[in-house]
Amino acid sequence: MMNVKDKIVLITGATSGIGKVAAIELAKMGAHVVIHGRDERKARIVRDEIVSICGHENIEILIGDVSSMQDVKTMAKEFLSRFDRLDILINNAGGVMDAKRQLTVDGLERTFAVNVASLFLLTALLFDALTKSSEARIINVSSMAHKFARPDWSDFQLERKYSSNLAYGNAKLYVICVTEELDRRMKEKRVHHVSVNALHPGVVATNFAKESKGSMMNLFFKILRPFLITPEKGARTTVYLASSEEVKGISGKYFAKCRPASIKRTFISEENSLKLWQKLEQLTGKDML
């Protein structure tokens, strides 16, 4: 294991599920963990719970709704007011959104905003802080659902054809595209002390898909919940990528069960990843590398 004691770790979506478990495990190793959530009261309760488990006070909260790009900007500003560097960024927030297509306050399709645009924007806003770490790691939670993606590269937000399952599959494929494009750009710029990897956590029994009422995904998770893996098992690959010496210097990969895993590359290419990257820069108003 890498020594994560006193490493500064930010985990989005960390007040429940695998994000919370990852926060607990890294805090137990001595990391200075910042847990993000939407609900301040809930975040404070979780913070106190983690403190009681890990035995130290270096657990902080960061509040914001990642469906709002303004909230993401506020979160980044707040983080940078407290810390001069970031060692580990775990982009964990996400999930299946609405059975019917819904727009955010920014006019973005909500699944795309929560799973992809917020991830891109937060990483871009905190990238300089990551470069100030001696060895920084960016960990993007994707999913095997990317194998069911059917992206239209001229219609990222599914204005012409929408379903919650398609939106989610596409979003998790886009997370892999962002991961690979960021890795390419860092290598071109010789940023060798920052790595970025994506992962599939497993099919986990959490509150996942609860916001997608009426969708097939919501029904699927209700029926199969007793057979799904625990959040503790689901968090293992996240914790592994954050703390293992085995992945030092490894970047641009996709992991499952703490091992490199195959990606369905039918829709993934450098050309398509660049299209997505440029679209995200346009939509968020933020360049990255």
Predicted confidence pLDDT, tens digits, the chain (289 residues): 789 999 999 999 999 999 999 999 999 999 999 999 999 999 999 999 999 999 999 999 999 999 999 999 999 999 999 999 999 999 999 988 888 999 999 999 999 999 999 999 999 999 999 999 999 999 999 999 999 999 999 999 999 999 999 999 999 999 999 999 999 999 999 999 999 999 999 876 555 445 545 555 555 445 444 445 688 888 999 999 999 999 999 999 999 999 999 999 999 999 999 999 999 999 999 999 9
Q: What Å distances lie between residue 79 and 50, 105, 125, 144, CA to CA?
A: 19, 23, 10, 31
Contact (CB, 8 A) for 237 and 256: yes
Where would I find the H helices in 142-269?
164-188, 216-224, 231-234, 236-243
**In the prediction, which pLDDT does 67 show?**
98
Coil, strand or helix at 81: helix
Tokens of 157: 């937000």
- Residue labelled with tokens 């599939």: 200
* Active-site residue, from 162, 168, 174, 254: 168
pLDDT of the residue at 276: 97
List the 259-260 sheet strands across, edge first. Answer: 59-63, 32-37, 8-11, 88-91, 136-141, 194-200, 254-256, 259-260
Distance of CA 240 to CAs 198, 248, 256, Å?
Answer: 12, 11, 10
Q: For the domain bounded by 8-284, which CATH number is listed?
A: 3.40.50.720
In this predicted structure, what is the pLDDT of residue 119? 98
Q: What is the largest CA-CA distance in the chain?
A: 52
Q: Are 138 and 198 in contact (CB under 8 A)?
A: no
**Domains of the chain, residue spans:** 8-284
| Region class of 207: left (phi > 0), else alpha (psi between -120 and 50), else beta | alpha
**Whether residue 254 lies in the annotated active site:** no
